[in-house]
Structure 1
């Protein structure tokens, strides 16, 4: 592995050379650059660990509650998503932070290249898994709303566990392909992380692996968005149907509105976080380019095209990493009563027993009065 550009003491150059070798003339500049650069991954790791750990705690408490039997599949999905994001933060962020702080070239930290392969594997595994789990949750919500009777009779907890296990195993096997020789993990700009290589047009396996990753990621986004839109359409249709009954209409409208807001939030967050990186990867694959050329970044003017492309690529990667932090807040923490509301919506669609619905309606009415008071 070749050394990456040395960090320079300029506003937009802090990222470019945090891995640069320090010499007598630029020691202080490199130290200052490293101090500024390391703040970003450190902040992301802390917020990600705290948010996902809190989400796992809340899910664990809700899962053990007797009244949570109807929503255990949904709880399993949220808990699995939080666990996956948490492990991703714990396995990748410390490596980036230690490399930033060491202010050394990656080849000095990882001369064998094994750490780079592990980092690339982790980025692939913990990148695709949350996307697939989000798709599974979107499908689960759609089935619960649009086919409630089928959902109640077929979607058992063991089915959810099997689906989640299948996702983990399938993505694990896919992420191991470069280790088996199909594809490659390479050092990426600014030299503090490794990911799927996209620029070697001579290696068909590398192009296949990189393009498959991007296509699978985009496909999962499409499935999630399509299922969420189908769920939204069903909720809106149900609201119109219930418009004749004033009291139930108000209750259902509140449930549906909060669910709609959350579904829209999920779609916006996933699309904003992942679309830039996945589309950029496909663009590089089809143009047979790679950000290996960012190694000459330190000699470029801040307004150069290469400077902008390298900065955009790094921003796209950070947005994808930001999704691990936002997941628990979008799915759970910003809506403390999300699980109860979703269960009520599913039960209302499936026309659950009158006694059970009356009990839930009383609880909801009390909550509405407390909220409006």
Structure 2
């Protein structure tokens, strides 16, 4: 999902909700966004997700990882899905941008547009569903550990992930059955679900995405509440359990990061799609000569898609790569605060202040 190119201000915006292959939408070399940006984002996403899969593979093969193998399977599947989405969509966008030609001249049959829209739908919806599955898995592991240990095995997790991918592919294939269609989107460098005419297909995609966000947020909040309660109970006990506290802190940071990234990246696009469906596709980008105010609305819609595309890059860092980094930084900060709060540090500060007074005198 990488529609990062933008046309010059005097270009027509008719291609935003028009049928594919209408000839509008030119990705010119003089555009406001350099091709270096989508290229850098593609490489960053591929490297980050590949590194995440490597770390997941090493952790999965470790002897002490049996209890968290289901979670590792979900993380690895998410990284694989995000990387495939980058590999299938970003090169097409970059090629259209570099060619400087309208999409219709490169794709007169519209099949490339269908493929691009299919990829955007599959690799946009599946990460949201996988994130929901991970949130449910963590909530069950914390709040119902006995049921989790006896019912949720890695094999069951694999079947669940296969069901998610199958559901994403089945939804993306609905246009082949005549239920919805993919169309060229403004500014003419990418294709996605058409919202014209109050598309039920677009409404289904947006509704499923928002439902995934709600489920993820609810499960993460439930997990955070359970972790806080356990931390308070252990703090009042004879043995606080520093290792458990470290794991709880790590999990809390990760869950908060997941909630913030998912909400910030996906909510604008999903809400915009539902609004456009409710307006029967009468979006501001349908005009032939959009005024400055209308063009600003078009840019806001495009920004929503760009935020969603950022999710593929941020996912591996939020879910895996930043866990130990963030925890290490927090431990270092806590250690520095504790050292500066002891009596020895206070004595040194008093001595230094007395020396400063004598020098000033």
Task: State the TM bucket, normalised to the shorter chain.
Answer: 0.7 to 0.9
Equivalent pair of 2:143/2:226 in contact (CA under 8 Å): yes
112 and 290 in structure 1: CA distance in 2 versus 1, 3 angstrom threshold: farther
Residue 298 of structure 2: which of 278, 289, 310 is its match? 310
Pairing 1:127–2:133 present = no
Alpha-carbon displacement from aligned partner over 1:233-259 (angstroms, at most 9, x marks no partner): 100111111122354254433322221
Q: How far apart are 1:337 and its partner, in Å?
A: 8.1
Q: How far apart are 1:42 and its partner, in Å?
A: 1.3
Distance in 2, Cα, partners of 1:319 & 1:271: 10
Equivalent pair of 2:196/2:282 in contact (CA under 8 Å): yes
- 1:178 is paired with a residue whose SS is helix
Alignment of 1:207-246 (within 5 A): 207-245=199-237
Alignment of 1:310-349 (within 5 A): 310-336=298-324
Instruction: Count how many residue pairs are aligned between Structure 1 and Structure 2.
Output: 321
60 and 41 in structure 1: CA distance in 2 versus 1, 3 angstrom threshold: same
Q: How far apart are 1:31 and its partner, in Å?
A: 2.8
Distance in 2, Cα, partners of 1:286 & 1:210: 10
Q: How far apart are 1:55 and its partner, in Å?
A: 0.3
Distance in 1, Cα, partners of 2:181 & 2:96: 21
| Partner in structure 1 of residue 29 of structure 2 | 31
| Partner in structure 1 of residue 26 of structure 2 | 20
Distance in 2, Cα, partners of 1:126 & 1:120: 10
Equivalent pair of 1:239/1:249 in contact (CA under 8 Å): no
| Partner in structure 1 of residue 275 of structure 2 | 283
Residue 72 of structure 1: which of 44, 49, 69 is its match? 69
RMSD: 2.8
- 2:108 is paired with a residue whose SS is coil
Q: How far apart are 1:66 and its partner, in Å?
A: 1.7
Alpha-carbon displacement from aligned partner over 1:257-295 (angstroms, at most 9, x marks no partner): 221121111001000000000000000000112558356
Pairing 1:49–2:46 present = yes
Scaled by the length of structure 1, what TM-score is found?
Answer: 0.80
Structure with higher RCO (Cα < 8 A, 6+ apart): 2
Larger Rg: 2
Alpha-carbon displacement from aligned partner over 1:351-372 (angstroms, at most 9, x marks no partner): xxxxxxxxxxxxx9xxx79x94
Q: How far apart are 1:54 and its partner, in Å?
A: 0.6
In structure 2, the gaps of 5 or more residues are 1-5, 17-22, 337-361
- 1:186 is paired with a residue whose SS is strand
Scaled by the length of structure 2, what TM-score is found?
Answer: 0.82
Q: How far apart are 1:37 and its partner, in Å?
A: 3.7
In structure 1, the gaps of 5 or more residues are 1-5, 22-29, 202-206, 342-363
184 and 292 in structure 1: CA distance in 2 versus 1, 3 angstrom threshold: farther
